[in-house]
Structure 1
Amino acid sequence: MDDLRSRAARFAESWAGRGDEKSETQQYWRDLLDKVLLIPDTSDGQALWFERRTALGGFIDALMIQARVLVEQKSLGVDLDKPEPRRGSMVTPVRQAKRYADGTRIAAVIWRVPD
């Protein structure tokens, strides 16, 4: 039986040990949507956007407006609790995502997925 849990396990196994924010973000999200959530075509330019400029001058890593999902992705091994310099202040990746969400129509519900 090919249920969500089985698809997610295969996806996690195929991505184990990988996770470079700059070179793998787009493939990661396309694979997740296609192979786990069974949303096959995200290439129409409406369902999924990458590197979307924010009002603050940053870039949202992945944005799904209709699903009201905003992703701030970090490379494998990045400490999600460690503040980094962003736009003149030190913020954690979670706070960075919250800033981006505050500048969109997306309500901020933070999900942290550690290594």
Structure 2
Amino acid sequence: MDRRLNWNEIRTRAAQFAREWAGHGYEKGETQLFYRDFFEVFGVPVRRVATFEEPVKKLGDQRGFIDLFWKGMLLVEQKSAGRSLAKAKAQAYDYFPNIRNADLPRYLLLSDFQSFNLHDLETGEESSFSLDALPQHVEKFGFIIGVEKRTFKDQDPVNIEAAEVMGHLHDALEESGYVGKDLERFLVRLVFCCFADDTGVFEPRDIFLELLEQRTSPDGSDVGPMLANLFQVLNTPEERRSKKLDEDLARFPVNDRLKFPTSDRLKFPTR
């Protein structure tokens, strides 16, 4: 099975894609090439998931062709550079009445090569950005690599379960010999990061979860060093951060809500 690209790699590919397609925009001649390259940004061959020029009935006796269709996930309506995306949206919605319910897409993407308009039809969220800004918005296309978009609630019954998990973590670390102020400080920092990830203090949401899921080993052997690096970044003003700082860490804002003492280096338990 192919390795899934991490967001650093995807952003780098997105920047290259934006440079290569700057100034292009002929709908009939370049759409398929454009989306082959676009899906390769995420390391996914478009032919694995989607089809081009999918035939579909429109209202009345007319027939149309969907520029790109990923059943159940994505419908793309493409226009030449400078053409109206409002017209593209109306055209796309003409297809919906004759798409099977099981195949109705969650996402609608409208584009004129030099700009994107992405609609999440489940949440109602809409995002618009230019081609050159794609590297800053690639997370919005997480569904291409199987990263499910999460929805958030002010109150969630899993809070009780989360508190229990934190308690178990405390006990496990304490049993390993990681005790006292070091342990309590670590748990406070961890709780803050979870809170910030869930409430929007960290933007975009879930960047802390993604950092742990995508940038650490499944066995957890390197979670400690990653957290130590993150805590140091959170306490470092942006103008003092290294120019070569890992991009996933650089996205985290300076922590103004809860200062982490810089005089005490966080120690992690060893086996």
Q: Give TM class, smaller chain.
A: 0.7 to 0.9
Tell whether the 8 Å contact from 1:98 to 1:108 is kept in structure 2 after alignment. Answer: no
| Structure-2 separation of matches of 1:51 and 1:100 | 12
Alignment partner of 2:68: what SS? strand
Query: Closer, same or farther in 2 for the Cα pair 1:32/1:65, shift >3 Å?
Result: same
- Say which of 40, 47, 51 aligns to 1:49: 51
Tell whether the 8 Å contact from 2:10 to 2:42 is kept in structure 1 after alignment. Answer: yes
1:62-94, CA deviations, whole angstroms, 9 ceiling, x for partnerless residues? 11125x11111001111223xxxxxxxxxx211
Alignment partner of 2:85: what SS? coil
Structure 2 length as normaliser, TM-score?
0.33
Superposed counterparts of 1:40-79, under 5 Å: 40=45, 42=47, 47-56=49-58, 57-65=63-71, 68-79=73-84
Tell whether the 8 Å contact from 1:98 to 1:110 is kept in structure 2 after alignment. Answer: no
Tell whether the 8 Å contact from 2:77 to 2:88 is kept in structure 1 after alignment. Answer: yes
Gapped regions of structure 2 (runs ≥ 5) = 1-5, 111-115, 118-129, 131-271
After TM superposition, give the deviation of residue 10 of structure 1 in Å: 0.8
Q: What amino acid does structure 2 have at the position aligned with 1:73?
A: Q
| Structure-1 separation of matches of 2:16 and 2:30 | 18
Gapped regions of structure 1 (runs ≥ 5) = 82-91
1:22-57, CA deviations, whole angstroms, 9 ceiling, x for partnerless residues? 0001111111112x1101362xxx622111111111
- Say which of 8, 21, 26 aligns to 2:32: 26
Structure 1 length as normaliser, TM-score?
0.73
| Structure-2 separation of matches of 1:24 and 1:58 | 19
Query: Closer, same or farther in 2 for the Cα pair 1:3/1:102, shift >3 Å?
Result: farther
- Greater helix percent: which structure? 2
Identity %: 36
- Residue 95 (structure 2) aligns with: 100
- Off by >3 Å, runs of 4+ in structure 1: 107-112
RMSD after superposition: 2.3
Query: Size of the alignment, in residue pairs?
Result: 100
Q: With CA pairs under 8 Å and 6+ residues apart, which has the higher RCO, 1 or 2? A: 1
